Structures are given as structure tokens and as C-alpha cells.
Chains A and B, each alone.
Chain A
Amino acid sequence: MKLFGINGNKLNEKLAHNDDTKARRAGSEKKPRPASPSVPSVVSVAKRFGAGAFSLCVLFGAALAVLWPLPACDLPEKFPEFTGDISVGPFVKYATNPILPRGEAGAFDSAAVAGPAVIEEEGGRLRMYYGAVDAAGLQTIGTATSQEGLVWERRSVGPVLTPTAGSFDEAGVSDPSAIYDGSQYWVFFTGWDAGGTPRIGLASSGDGVTFEKAPAPIMESGGEGAYDSAGVAEPCAVFDEGRSKFLLYYTGYNQYGQGSIMLAVSDDGQTWTRYGIESGLAQPALGPATEEEGAFDSDSVGGPSVLFVTSREGRALLRLWYSGSQAGGSVHVGLAGSGGSEEQTGGYNWERYPANPVAHYARSPSVVSYGANLYMYYNELPQDESAGISLATRLELSREE
């Protein structure tokens, strides 16, 4: 600009000087006039053309320079994958299992710990009830607590539930299932009589440790020919808020010892009615997968663990994890899903997960929703309960965890 200014001034001076010279040569008496503004000086050329074109280019160029990288800077190398339904899919076994080993020698749980049931108490603390066996083979139920689900502190002074002489559970108690309603603990369990027939009993507690047992079982074996004619065991009780009813899933054994998962419903948790009765017989909510050749659970299913979940779109759903086995085969944990209380058959009609099993060589699952993850407590096979209670999670835990 300075160069233009200097040159322009000089040119103007020169033009004015020329005009003056011409006027004097003509002998004109007129006063010398200044350079006409209509004459295009270099300055005006610059102002009118150069500056206009220059600023146009600068403007467009600057806009491009600023805007160009805006979208390009966000080109991902790989599109992230949307996290699927956390409640569907395989579990990852925890690296340092078991998280609850057998108790020390002489303890009530020194021979085995099995059949866990985990609930979340107020304040986020987890409480586990588990079947315990001492060195003499006595089956009782113990409890342990944990703040984060990995390190458990057992109540080592003794079991919280023991057999009652002369009762339906005189030979042992096992397979607990717990509900905590904010003030009261309800523990459903398998009670074994002296003849080895399992029935389902109920005990309640205000503190989760001192229980009072109902004197009679809440669920007896079914009649002759029923799917649960040989015994009922491994209860899993949940409260269905949509229906305002308790649901009790349990393993029913038929006369051949084959297990099916049955369902009973109750308004008060004490009086139960079998669900799905056809031709006078309660039908299984989930029976062995006899129609599917080679299925891992084609012979027997049992040990249910049921959880209410809500889909991202607000749909109430139920998840059922269960133990399943082939004839002569090992036991694995499978998954099935059902509609919630909004559907008439919700909780009764179950759809198996096609990619079952979700945990290999595992049995007696208890699944609890914890944070953004699902924790499954189970017994690892083939060590089974002698090794202790293990943990598997849907999302792999980081090293820090």
C-alpha cells in the first residue's frame, strides 16, 4: 500500500505538472486546475479493481482455509461399535477365582460352599447366602458380604440357617434364594428330609443374619406324573412389581430325576400356586431342550437365577440363567429371555439364547446387576463346590478392579 501511495502521489504530481505546463504553453489565463478526479490514477485503479479482486480472493481463501478442516478433522479410522444388550451374551470368568473359597478346617463350610444367592443391600453392599457343608457332611446356609463384589467377608461364626430336627429339612438346607425389600430379608431354600426328598422352605429376618423359619415347606413335590413329582429344589424368588406378585422359579425333578424349571406365583410370598397348568399338570416354564439335537441342556435344566431388566426403549424383560446338561455330559450355564409383566405370558414363555451356553463348565448361577455390569456367582466345574464360589462378569473387569 505504501508503494502504491508513493507512486500514486508522484504520478498525480506529474499529471498536475503536465496540465500546468500545457496551460502555460497555450497562454491561457486560467488558473492551473488540479488533476481531474475522472482520470484513473494508479491509486484509484488499485482501489477499484485490485483491492476488490484481492479481497474477494482473500475472503474466499480465508473461508476455505478456516472451514476446510472442520469436517475432515473428525474422520474416524474405525466406527465404534454400539454396546449391545448387556444382559445377553457370554460371561467372562474372573481371573482370580474362586472369590469365596471353602472355609477353614473345622468351620461349618470347610467341605464345600455352593449354590450362591447374591442381593444388593442398602448402601450398595452385596450380601451373599450360600450353601455350606462341613466336614461331617452337614448342609447349612451361610452368609458373606462385600463392598465391591470381589472381596468377600464371610460370617465365619456359623451358618444363618440350619436343619431343624423332625422337620421337612432335617437332613439339610441348601440352595438359598434371597429377596431384600428394604427392611426384611426373605430367604427361600431347599430343605432335605431324611429320605432325600427336597422341598422348598422360607425363612425371614430383619437383619439378614438371624432368621425365623416357616415350620412347613411352601412348595411340595407335585403329584404322580408331574414334572416335579420327585421333588422341588433350587428356588429363585423375585418380586414382579408390574403384577404385584411374587414369582418362584424352582427346579422340579420328575420320576426319572430329570430337571425342569417350574414357576409358581404368590401374592404374599407364603402361599404359592403352580403356574401353567394344562390337563391338571403344571408345565415347565423351561424344560430340557429335547427338540434341539446336541443342545447343551438337552437332558436336564435347573438352578434358575432370574433378573428383571429394562431395555433401552423401556421394555420390561426377564432374564433367566440356568444350569443345563446333556445326558452324561458336563454342566454349563445357559440363558433364556422372556417378556415382562406387560405380556400375558411374560415370565412363563421363555426363548433360549441361540449362542448358549453363556458360561462353560459352570452351575448354580446367581446373577446380580452391579453398576453397568452383570456379576454371575457360580460353582466352577469340574472342581464344583469343593473349590468354592467363582465369579464371572458380562464385561471383563479391568486389572484395577
Chain B
Amino acid sequence: MGADARGMGNAMTGVPAGAMSAYYNPGFLGFLGGASIEAGWLGALMDLELSGEGYDSQNLGGVELAAAVPLGGKLSFLSLGVAAYLPIGPAARLYAQAPNTPQFLLYRNLNRFAVYPALSVKIGDWFAFGAGVHVLASASGWINFEIDLANQSAPGRDFMFDMEPGFAPTAGVAINWKDVVTGGLSYRGEIDAAVEFPANFDLGIIELLVHGQGVQWFTPHELNLGAAWRPLPPLLVSFDLTYALWSNAPDQSTQVTIQPSVLLPEVKNPPVEMGFSDIVMPRLGVAYAPIEGLSLRTGYLYYPTPVPSQIHATNIADSDRHVLTLGAGYRFDDPLGVIPQGVSMDGFFQWHFLASRSVIKKSLVDEVGDYGISGRVIAGGLALTMHL
């Protein structure tokens, strides 16, 4: 979240990130210089390949909005912030394939509506903590069809579908020593988007209860530790470590059970064990201000894949990812004088490189066979922040 953060390799757990702290570390909302509103656009073009064959991935595009305000008066120790991502196109797409179908699962269903509201409490001059929630839509429903085969009609066509928000906690603590050394610890809870769909087809002579359910999107528990140092006033160096509990990842496909009312065998496909591993991600960010108002940023992050070698039946394509980032921002006075603390305009560019990975199947008659994984993702965006 945030163009300035993305330019710094997302190493923002230990750095005040303005309103975007609601996502990175709610504790840093306690060190807001003032209220701010941020609006930005971002896009990501994915070029993912399986054995050199292009894989038509879901590109990303959306708008980020964030706002934060320190409360005044007797509540001056409190700050509020909210960050949100609004995708271009559908608010969420939950698409799933059987796990034996080759797929870049972790690059799918990312373009989703998400909101991170948070509250921070500042204690003293150098310490603050915060907490919030991650809100994501989930869905469930049911179908009840009665089909009269003799008369070729469907007298019963009941249908219900609920969009239900799912919640996961976010929390963080932040320390700030004279804006020279800052640090923080943040947590984002595991959250998934699950769909459940029982359907009853009454065909007269036979009744079929079809129950489909599954988790189509998942992010793990994440624990982030970050620190930043400003050795010179214009230079900021930040470093993050994230521990992500990917071992909890479920089978992200749809499990279907078909129960006929008569003596026919039940059809069932139970979830498979994904076998993902927990990972540790390092992130490094540097920002330099050669002149007042201008900020040049760069960063690097390494995202080791949690996906084990797919030598058996599943084919979840992923590999270690190296990400180089660049960014720039310029803060200037509002020429209209409406925005008292000025306006900043930020841009970022990220180049994600998926290291080549070879999958050699254990079975000599695997239907998918051996394949290689590689890819690139190019992301960029612009943001406008009004400092009120």
C-alpha cells in the first residue's frame, strides 16, 4: 500500500508511512505530523511462464485511498487511519482450479477490495501502539432447484447469495527516537475468502445434493519487524523482516460433494494437503532527499516461495521472487493555499523477477509432466497526498 512505501521495497514496518501506516504498522499512526488524505493508482502487468509458454495471468489495477487524522483536545494521544484498495473491474474475483492443474495460485485473486481501518494510541514522545482490522468480502449461499423432467420445466428456482465481510486483526507498536531512529513490530492476521454453495437439485426420480465449498484466496498470519535509521537528515535507511505462516495455507480449490438420494455412489473430492512452508522475507529500503521536498527512493525485497517442489500431483507454480523498486516524490506548497501543509506527488516502479524453477515429476507417467517456472511482474503507480 502506498506509492512511497512501494518505492522503498515495502520496508515500512519501522517507518512512519502516513495514512498507509494503517496497513504497515498501525502504531505509527501515533506519529502523524498532521491529517492527510492520499489517493493513488497502481497497476501491475504479469508475465508468468510455464516452460516458456506464456500464462495469461490476472493483471492488477486499482485505486488506493487512505486517510489519517490525529485527534485533538483531550484525545490528542489518539490517531485514526484507514487505508483501502479499490480494484478496477470486479470488486473481487474468486477463481479456483483443481490443484493438479498448473496454476500461479499465489498471483491469482489479488485484485480485491480490501479495507484496513486502525486506531493508534501514543504514549509519551516516543512510543505508540495501534490496532485495526483487515476487512475482506466472503460469500455463501444456496440453490434449491426442482426440475420436472416430465414436463421439461423448473417449478422451484430458489436462490440466495450473501456477501459477508471477513475480518482479521492488525496490530503494531512503534517507537520513534527524535525521527533519527524508528522501529516497529506489526502483525496482520490470517484471512481468507471462502465460498460455500450447497445446491439441491430435485429431479423427481432422484434428488442430488451438491455441496461446493472452498477457500479461493488466502493470506497467512504475518509478523513484521522493522527498523529505520536516519544517519543524515536527508538519508533514511529501513529494514524489515517478515515471518509469514504459510504452513496454514489450505487447499485453495473447490471441494465438491454430490450425494444422490438413491443408492448411487457419493462423489467426493476431499481437500489435498498443500504442504506450504513458513517463510522469512527480508526487505530493504533507502530514501534520499537531495533537495528540500524531493525524495528519491529505492529498495529490494526477497520473497522466498512457500510452495514446495511440485513433484507429485499438485501443480502450484511459484518460485523465489526478487523485487527491485524505485520511487520518487516531491512535496510542494499548495499554490491555492487550500491545503495548509502542502501536497506531495509520489510515483513508484517495481520489477519482480521470479527465479527459474524446474519441476521434475516423481511419476514417470504424470499427465502434466515436467515443467519450468519463471516470470516477471512490472508494477507502477502514482499517488497524490494532501497534508492537511
Residues of A within 8 A of B (CB): 48-50, 52-53, 56, 60, 63-64, 67-72, 74-76, 78-85, 87-89, 311-313, 315, 317, 335-339, 350-355
Q: Flag if B370 contacts A353 (CB, 8 Å).
A: no
Instruction: List chain B residues, Cβ under 8 A from A315.
Output: 360, 370
Are A88 and B88 also in contact (CB < 8 A) when A63-B41, A312-B371 are? no
Among B50, B90, B361, B365, which residue has its beta carbon within 8 angstroms of that of A353?
B365
Instruction: List chain A residues, Cβ under 8 A from B44.
Output: 71
| B363 within 8 Å of A (CB atoms) | yes
Task: Give complex CA distance A234, B363 in Å.
Answer: 27
| B45 within 8 Å of A (CB atoms) | yes
| B292 within 8 Å of A (CB atoms) | no
Q: Flag if B370 contacts A312 (CB, 8 Å).
A: yes
List 17 A-B pairs, Cβ < 8 Å. A53-B335, A60-B382, A69-B61, A70-B43, A74-B45, A75-B58, A82-B101, A82-B315, A84-B368, A84-B369, A312-B369, A313-B359, A313-B370, A313-B371, A317-B364, A337-B363, A351-B364
Q: Flag if A79 contacts B95 (CB, 8 Å).
A: yes
Instruction: List chain A residues, Cβ under 8 A from B41.
Output: 63-64, 67-68
Q: Flag if B337 contacts A337 (CB, 8 Å).
A: no
Among B51, B55, B59, B337, which residue has its beta carbon within 8 angstroms of that of A80?
B55
Decide if the interface of chain B is mainly helix, strand, loop or mixed.
loop
Minimum Cβ distance to chain A for residue B42 (Å): 9
Q: Flag if A336 contacts B365 (CB, 8 Å).
A: yes
Task: Give complex CA distance A311, B359 in Å.
Answer: 11
Task: Give complex CA distance A78, B95 in Å.
Answer: 8
Instruction: List chain B residues, Cβ under 8 A from A338.
Output: 364
Q: Flag if B369 contacts A68 (CB, 8 Å).
A: no
Task: Give complex CA distance A352, B364 in Å.
Answer: 9
Task: Give complex CA distance A94, B56 in Å.
Answer: 31
Q: Flag if B58 contacts A76 (CB, 8 Å).
A: yes
Task: Give complex CA distance A361, B88 in Å.
Answer: 53
Minimum Cβ distance to chain B for residue A309 (Å): 9
Instruction: List chain B residues, Cβ under 8 A from A48.
Output: 335
Q: Flag if A313 contacts B372 (CB, 8 Å).
A: yes
| B341 within 8 Å of A (CB atoms) | no
Instruction: List chain B residues, Cβ under 8 A from A355.
Output: 367
Q: Flag if A85 contacts B368 (CB, 8 Å).
A: yes
Instruction: Mark interface residues in B24-41 (1 if CB within 8 Å of A CB, else 0).
Output: 000000000000000001
Are A79 and B58 also in contact (CB < 8 A) when A64-B41, A70-B43, A89-B367 are? yes
| B331 within 8 Å of A (CB atoms) | no
Task: Give complex CA distance A315, B53 in Å.
Answer: 18
Which chain B residues (104-150) contact chain A, with CB distance < 8 Å?
Answer: 108, 111
Q: Flag if B371 contacts A88 (CB, 8 Å).
A: no
Instruction: Mark interface residues in B86-103 (1 if CB within 8 Å of A CB, else 0).
Output: 001110010101000111
| B213 within 8 Å of A (CB atoms) | no
Instruction: List chain B residues, Cβ under 8 A from A317.
Output: 364
Among B108, B336, B369, which residue has its beta carbon within 8 angstroms of that of A88?
B369
